[in-house]
Amino acid sequence: MPVPTPTRYIDHPADVAFAARALAGGAVVVAAFGNFYAVVSRPDAETVGRVNLAKGRPADQVGSVTAVADRIPSMFDWSRISPRLPERRVRQLMDALYGAGPFGFRGPAADRLPTHLTRYDRGVRTAQVIAPGTGCLSNAFFAHATAEAGVDHLYITSANRSRHLTGADEEPAHWKADAIAADFAHLPDLVVLAHRDEAAARAAYPRHLPTSVTLLSFHLPEGEWEEPPVLIVDRHGSLHVDDVRRAAAPLGLQVRLGAGAGRRLRVRAYAKALV
């Protein structure tokens, strides 16, 4: 059966308020996110596990975090970054890259973040913070949702089914609301907050592909830092690494591709032509 076009929109305050209340009550929300979509829920372990299973992942797979822009720095423990990497420079780079559009940073996790939203890498407990960019309307939804749920962060994951479920080599994120709604039609409490105009949303971010965000890490242990400081692209996604380097260079920071980022993520193709 065809999936009806979503009737709730990210630019409609009543729809945003409805979705925020639903999320606080445990619902799963597909939200317009920059130039594509993301799946968002409460950050408790039970809800995160349910979303993982709905995607075809193991229930205990570690999740990512999102938050309103002014709360993003508090997701990290800045006392645990190398003294060779000034906090001021990293926060300036965050402002630049989140100001441009969807992006992700991974760094030392704040102590209050739960274990199911953090993971150890090179002996450092890290958090992965994915945000849509300061200009995205989804920030208003995040503000409403965190207030309704009584938290300062939310769980976020890519808007797709797991490749382990579908058998595909790669499952790119969705940039069409009806398609991601169809993938999650088995969730009875699914709420979709769609872009009013998906083509306009993509056009608003000409330097970003409509796929999962590029992810930059800054948590290397002290013994692994270089001079000048080098940040690692863990995932080469929406924003090209050359654009990341252009933002980092004026701050005296260098950027290089990590071992798993040699191939840039694909954009999802649909059977029908783009409109």
Give helix 13-24 / helix 138-149 axis angle, nearest 10°: 40
Query: Is 265 domain-assigned?
Result: no
Read off the pLDDT of residues 152-186 as tens digits, 9 standing for 90 and up.
Answer: 999 999 999 887 676 667 889 999 999 999 999 99
Give the pTM: 0.93
Q: Report yes or no on 8 lying in a domain.
A: no
- Averaged pLDDT of the chain: 92
Instruction: Return the H-helix or E-strand segment holding 142.
Output: helix 138-149
User: Is residue 123 situated within a structural domain?
Assistant: yes
- Kindly report whether the peptide bond that precedes residue 228 is cis, defined as omega within 30 degrees of 0: yes
Report, as an integer, the average pLDDT of 185-203: 96
Closest CA to 91 of 234, 202, 248: 248
Q: How many domains does the chain have?
A: 1
For residue 121 the two structure tokens come to 């890498």
In tens, the pLDDT along 39-63 reads: 999 999 999 999 999 999 999 999 9
Half-sphere exposure of 111 (CA within 13 A, CB side): 2
Residue range(s) defining the domain that contains residue 74: 13-203+210-257
Alpha-carbon gap, residue 133 to 147, rounded angstroms: 20
Is 268 part of any domain? no
Query: Does any domain span residue 2?
Result: no
Q: What are phi and psi of 120, to 5 degrees?
A: -85, 135
CA separation for the pair 116, 21 (Å, rounded): 23
Q: Is the pLDDT of residue 271 over 50?
A: yes
What CATH number does the domain containing 196 carry?
Answer: 3.90.870.10
Instruction: Using a pLDDT cut of 90, give the percent of the chain over it.
Output: 84
Residue 48, domain member (yes or no): yes
Q: What is d(CA 49, CA 54) in angstroms, rounded to the nearest whole number?
A: 9
Digit-coded pLDDT (tens) for 201-251? 999 999 999 999 999 999 976 556 666 778 999 999 999 999 999 999 999
